[in-house]
A and B are shown apart, each in its own frame.
Chain A
Amino acid sequence: MSAEVEHIDNQNAPAPAPATNEIVVEMEHLSKSFGTNHVLKDINLKINKGENLVVLGKSGSGKSVLIKCLVRLLDADSGKLIVLGKDMPSLKGEELNEMRTKIGFLFQSAALYDSMSVRENLEFPLRMMKGQTPEEKTKLVTKALKSVGLEKAIDLMPAELSGGMRKRVGLARTMILQPDIMLYDEPTTGLDPITSKEISKLILQVQKENQTTSIIITHDIECAKITANRILVLKEGKFIAEGTFKELEKSEDEWVRSFFE
């Protein structure tokens, strides 16, 4: 299912997905319901190492639920889920925690810890890395904040930040551990076009530098255009279309095409 990217139309084109066939995430017949609300019905998905996968779908179609199932914040009802070669549903306790440090999750709401300053927020994931001096930590924190353009906000509390700033701090906090897999839940929603573009480029940069595999959930078609190696469209609990940006833009299906207008 490796994506062939040929639509390099500007300098923002995503890094071509590496030709390796190392599959990082695999889902088969995954389903998830809340009572009678069948959110995910039959999800099949394979993601290669270093690939940027964009998921499109209407509000309420279950995109957030999909990536929450991936990190086991929600437990899928049935189906196969293999992440980095491990069978996720069978992981417990410490194993699961260790696996989770390899996965970065940007929440739709940013989910900053209210009682901690920006610095403490970013240092929190570093707790899991043992044997780091405070200087090293500060260095990592400043570097991460710099990449989202917020090095001045380091000593502010989350309540003092604007919505877009919170999002960017959330992004910095997610990236600080340089995880193998990044899950972005609407990284550019609520940001101005310029910042959005910067964030999209940042996602690309992370992909190139660290060989990160990413799932990007977005409504922002610009962001999808810049970051996507491959796009999947989610509707009624299933993926109904798959392809590169160029391919889906010219899709036969009017409903799919309507995303790109």
Chain B
Amino acid sequence: MSKILYLPASMEDFFLEVDALSRFTGRFFKTFLKPPFEFSEIIKQCFMIGYKSLGLVTVTGFIMGLVLTIQSRPTLARFGAEAWLPGMVAVSLIREIGPVITALICAGKVGSGIGAELASMKVTEQIDAMEVSGTNPFKYLVVTRVLAAMFMIPILVIFADGIGLCGSFIGVNIMDQVGLRLYFSKAIESLDFVDVFPAFIKTFFFGFAIGIISCYKGYTTTKGTEGVGLAANSAVVLCSLCIFIIDMIAVQLASFFMN
């Protein structure tokens, strides 16, 4: 059997990992409601996660909208339905592509950052130092990062959706002449509560998954400096995988409850 790099080598390892991750998540829920709250640290982490990913999300969001429009046009043109282009792109962007692609980008950027940072703090005994100075490092490091990821990923997704629609507007105008107002009224008209609401809710789960998994990978690393790279790498792999799994579940649930 061929091993997939950085995924648990055997079933046993896999279940041990799931067990450890759920304990870690349990610890998060036990800790995060207890005062003192590290507000200033949460704000700082929001800044790190949000501001630092903004450039990347802008570029990918724009390209997403543009490419999706250009690629969809020939199919719609075959049915003479080019007028539906803004609506169709808006629906696919906001329901699916915007949240998933943005979350994946953030899994790469934020997940590897948190994984590596916490892992290096762990192996150089900085987390131990925090603990002996009477500060709960789990609260100070993990809870703040998970909450920050949960707040910021949805905001980044909304932002990426907006930029994506702008990209799509330009994509439409390469071949056609559609005014900005007409374009956006068409795009927004096609959107339903059923499109927007579940898509928005699932981004919180994406944010939570990115935060908790990368913190788990970093916080529990053991193998010295080698573990730092490993933690960053496996954080990204596991975050990306979880984003797809959450997306799948979210789509099933949404279609179950919304129809």
A113, B129: Cβ atoms under 8 Å? yes
Binds A, one of B17-25, B51-59, B102-110, B133-141: B133-141
In this assembly, does B131 line the interface, its C-beta being within 8 Å of a C-beta of chain A? Answer: yes
* Known pairs A111-B126, A114-B124; A124 contacts B131 (CB<8 A): no
Instruction: Give the distance in Å from the alpha carbon of A73 to the alpha carbon of B117 in the complex.
Output: 21
* Known pairs A114-B121, A114-B124; A105 contacts B134 (CB<8 A): no
Q: Which residues of B contact A177 (CB under 8 A)?
A: 133
* Closest CB in chain A relative to B81 CB, distance in Å: 53
- The chain B residue sitting closest to A71, CB to CB, is B132
Instruction: Give the distance in Å from the alpha carbon of A48 to the alpha carbon of B121 in the complex.
Output: 34
The count of chain A contact residues (Cβ–Cβ below 8 Å) is: 21
In this assembly, does A217 line the interface, its C-beta being within 8 Å of a C-beta of chain B? Answer: no
Q: Which residues of B contact A71 (CB under 8 A)?
A: 132
Q: Which residues of A contact B130 (CB under 8 A)?
A: 113, 124
B133, A125: Cβ atoms under 8 Å? yes
* Closest CB in chain A relative to B194 CB, distance in Å: 43
* Known pairs A112-B126, A113-B126, A115-B117; A73 contacts B134 (CB<8 A): no
- The chain B residue sitting closest to A116, CB to CB, is B126
Instruction: Give the distance in Å from the alpha carbon of A128 to the alpha carbon of B38 in the complex.
Output: 12
In this assembly, does A97 line the interface, its C-beta being within 8 Å of a C-beta of chain B? Answer: yes
In this assembly, does A109 line the interface, its C-beta being within 8 Å of a C-beta of chain B? Answer: yes
In this assembly, does B125 line the interface, its C-beta being within 8 Å of a C-beta of chain A? Answer: yes
Using an 8 Å CB-CB cutoff, how does the interface string of A117-136 with B read, 1 for contact, 0 for none? Answer: 00000001101100000000
* Closest CB in chain B relative to A45 CB, distance in Å: 19
Instruction: Give the distance in Å from the alpha carbon of A113 to the alpha carbon of B129 in the complex.
Output: 9
B136, A97: Cβ atoms under 8 Å? yes
Quick one: which of A160-216 are within 8 Å of B by CB?
A: 177
- The chain A residue sitting closest to B36, CB to CB, is A127
Q: Which residues of B contact A109 (CB under 8 A)?
A: 124-125
A111, B133: Cβ atoms under 8 Å? no
* Closest CB in chain B relative to A136 CB, distance in Å: 18
In this assembly, does B128 line the interface, its C-beta being within 8 Å of a C-beta of chain A? Answer: yes
Instruction: Give the distance in Å from the alpha carbon of A36 to the alpha carbon of B194 in the complex.
Output: 59
In this assembly, does A107 line the interface, its C-beta being within 8 Å of a C-beta of chain B? Answer: yes
Using an 8 Å CB-CB cutoff, how does the interface string of B112-151 with A read, 1 for contact, 0 for none? Answer: 0000010011001110111111111000000000000000
In this assembly, does A76 line the interface, its C-beta being within 8 Å of a C-beta of chain B? Answer: no
In this assembly, does A98 line the interface, its C-beta being within 8 Å of a C-beta of chain B? Answer: yes
Instruction: Give the distance in Å from the alpha carbon of A73 to the alpha carbon of B126 in the complex.
Output: 12
Quick one: which of A53-96 are within 8 Å of B by CB?
A: 68, 71, 73
* Closest CB in chain B relative to A61 CB, distance in Å: 19
In this assembly, does A103 line the interface, its C-beta being within 8 Å of a C-beta of chain B? Answer: yes
Q: How many A-B residue pairs have CB under 8 A?
A: 48
B124, A100: Cβ atoms under 8 Å? no
B134, A111: Cβ atoms under 8 Å? no
In this assembly, does A101 line the interface, its C-beta being within 8 Å of a C-beta of chain B? Answer: yes
A107, B128: Cβ atoms under 8 Å? yes
Instruction: Give the distance in Å from the alpha carbon of A100 to the alpha carbon of B130 in the complex.
Output: 10
Instruction: Give the distance in Å from the alpha carbon of A73 to the alpha carbon of B132 in the complex.
Output: 8
* Closest CB in chain B relative to A128 CB, distance in Å: 5
- With beta carbons under 8 angstroms apart, the residue of A68, A114, A115, A124 that contacts B135 is A124
Instruction: Give the distance in Å from the alpha carbon of A127 to the alpha carbon of B132 in the complex.
Output: 13
A128, B134: Cβ atoms under 8 Å? yes
* Known pairs A114-B121, A115-B117; A124 contacts B128 (CB<8 A): no
A97, B126: Cβ atoms under 8 Å? no
* Closest CB in chain A relative to B122 CB, distance in Å: 11
* Known pairs A73-B131, A100-B131, A105-B129; A111 contacts B136 (CB<8 A): no
* Closest CB in chain B relative to A182 CB, distance in Å: 12
Q: Which residues of A contact B131 (CB under 8 A)?
A: 73, 100
B126, A114: Cβ atoms under 8 Å? yes
A100, B128: Cβ atoms under 8 Å? no
Please give 5 more A-B residue pairs, beta carbons under 8 A apart, in addition to A97-B134, A101-B133: A71-B132, A100-B134, A107-B128, A112-B126, A114-B121
Binding site for B on A (CB under 8 A): 68, 71, 73, 97-98, 100-101, 103, 105, 107, 109, 111-115, 124-125, 127-128, 177
When A and B form their complex, which 5 residue pairs have the shortest distance between CB atoms, in order from nearest?
A111-B129, A101-B134, A111-B125, A97-B134, A105-B132
Question: What are 22 A-B contacts defined by CB distance under 8 Å?
Answer: A97-B134, A97-B135, A97-B136, A98-B134, A100-B134, A101-B133, A105-B129, A105-B132, A107-B125, A107-B128, A111-B124, A111-B126, A113-B126, A113-B129, A114-B124, A114-B126, A124-B130, A125-B133, A125-B134, A127-B135, A128-B134, A177-B133
